[in-house]
Amino acid sequence: MARKFFVGGNWKCNGTAEEVKKIVNTLNEAQVPSQDVVEVVVSPPYVFLPLVKSTLRSDFFVAAQNCWVKKGGAFTGEVSAEMLVNLDIPWVILGHSERRAILNESNEFVGDKVAYALSQGLKVIACVGETLEQREAGSTMDVVAAQTKAIADRVSNWSNVVIAYEPVWAIGTGKVASPAQAQEVHDELRKWLAKNVSADVAATTRIIYGGSVNGGNCKELGGQADVDGFLVGGAALKPEFIDIIKAAEVKKSA
């Protein structure tokens, strides 16, 4: 079964109400491949979720950038999975490297978050990836496998999970993993899933790439056999996000 191309736009901690309206307007006017070719999800900051949800075209979906690890309650400053479900937000990004690095979210904590979000009916973009030091030490696959294992240990149904491979050294640095480097890790990740979860999960789970994806490199990256789309950072705030969505066509013509 062909895996549907997936393009996510992570707006991170950016934007004013006016800027958000402009971005949504650009997306709403864009000519992009149909929903059977590409699934598009955008992830604004929490405070703009209702604004984006209410104004964004119906064939694009909205994701939160994080949620709490269990049921809500006395957790000041946190947002629970239940709240996102209540607002009809279908997706959430979990385990982004910025949260792992800056907020010290461990593999286990991220695994718990993924399991809880799924249990509440959210779909999850689960992020994995190595730092420059880890890549240079040759431990890329060990790191990515450990991050994935923490999720696999807690999740039985993978149908609502997209894995985002984001080499930390390529995020916002302008350094991009070469198409061959991206394909190599995606292929290894898929093999890991086949061996440790199931052949079916390995064949059907989308593994998307994140790390300085832009209008210039998206077609070549997207053309790799095991790259099923992108999680886009900086470029998601720019009109070139449309070009990145259109890169889904490389799979259709393959």
For residues 29 and 239, give the distance between their C-alpha atoms in angstroms, rounded to a whole number: 11
The Cα-based distances of 1 to 46, 67, 128, 201, 202 in angstroms read 35, 31, 24, 11, 11
The two beta strands, 161-165 and 38-43, are: unpaired
For residues 48 and 165, give the distance between their C-alpha atoms in angstroms, rounded to a whole number: 26
3 DSSP 8-state letter: P
H-helix or E-strand containing 207? strand 206-209
Convert 106-137 to b/e letters by CB count within 10 Å (16 or more is b): ebebbbbbbbbbbebebbbbbbbbbbeebbee
Residue 49: alpha-carbon gap to chain centroid? 17
| Residues paired with 208 in a beta bridge | 164
| Catalytic positions | 96, 166
For residues 197 and 104, give the distance between their C-alpha atoms in angstroms, rounded to a whole number: 27
